[in-house]
């Protein structure tokens, strides 16, 4: 039996079927880690707050006001989120 490449529709169907499985989570994580710096992550505790990750590993807590990044006071850490 010959192997054939998956069509775009089949690839999309597979991605959607596996999105909440370890394979889908790993795929999303790999994609997010491939993005350029700075990277922004949702704050794990505080709503409407984000963590800005710099290329050197510095993480800064803050929020956006009218599309402008505003660091929160005391929100800088190296690898750990304060608060």
For 15-48, the pLDDT digits (tens) are 999 999 999 999 999 999 999 999 999 999 999 9
For residue 12 the two structure tokens come to 């999309």
Quick one: pLDDT at residue 6?
Answer: 86
Confidence of residue 80 (pLDDT cuts 50, 70, 90): low
Mean pLDDT, range 40-57, rounded to an integer: 94
Residue 83: partners with Cβ closer than 8 Å, 6 or more residues away: 45, 46, 61, 75
Residue 78 has pLDDT above 60, yes or no: no
Residue 74 has pLDDT above 80, yes or no: no
């Amino acid at each position: 039996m010959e192997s054939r490449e998956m069509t775009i529709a089949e690839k999309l169907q597979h991605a959607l079927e596996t999105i909440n499985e370890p394979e889908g989570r790993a795929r999303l994580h790999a994609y997010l880690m491939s993005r350029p710096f700075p990277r922004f992550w949702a704050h794990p505790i505080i709503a409407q707050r984000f963590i800005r990750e710099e290329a050197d590993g510095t993480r800064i807590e803050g929020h956006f006001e009218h599309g402008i990044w505003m660091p929160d006071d005391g929100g800088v850490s190296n690898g750990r989120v304060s608060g």
